[in-house]
Structure 1
């Protein structure tokens, strides 16, 4: 199980998340995006439809379409109704249920850095969990820092 911590410094979630989602879908895998607040889920739904003019990223908010058919599903909890093996936690909150997936992407900004550090440390003691920490350099490129 791999957990990638993405510290959002220069690039906001609205630019980072679609890139990750596109890569997951292009690999043939499915993604569950988790945000607790319904208004955040709605904003992510709009984002994935419009992040670039020429892209198409098939997705839905849980409960609004046939969840089982969605390559990308936006939900309020960590229940992969679409059969996803990848999960993106996008509201800065770590959820241990993400450990049931093959890969987890944990996005957080400076407002959630203390909670991310706690999650990072708690995962160090877990067998079978590979942690990677990604931070952006001054040019905006993602670099693995740990």
Structure 2
């Protein structure tokens, strides 16, 4: 995430962030609006970690704790504004694109990006055990430089 150090977020970015929160019925507190503006203020989808969003907030001059960033990202996921993608069972990335789509995980720099969904075909899934249903299928394609 790129922001200019200590440069306040534009009113347009804050407005877009507030509208994003309102669509999901999330109360737009100052910190939530600031984080939402960083996430969707430019109209682009992005993948962030709590740490990268915390750093972007600090760069934008926003005072917010890392714990608040974690809690806010989880709250955004709970209301469907974002989805969490876990890599290696421990590293969480948060994606503002909530449509089903595959991801590339770039091992060399620990980055997550969208993979072209139109190039992926899943032809068969196993049947879910009795009394369960498949809630989602996550596809993470790991890449490394050769």
* Bigger Cα Rg: 2
Confirm or deny a common fold (TM above 0.5).
Answer: no
TM-score (norm 1): 0.29
Q: Compare the two structures and name the one with the higher strand fraction.
A: 1
TM-score (norm 2): 0.29
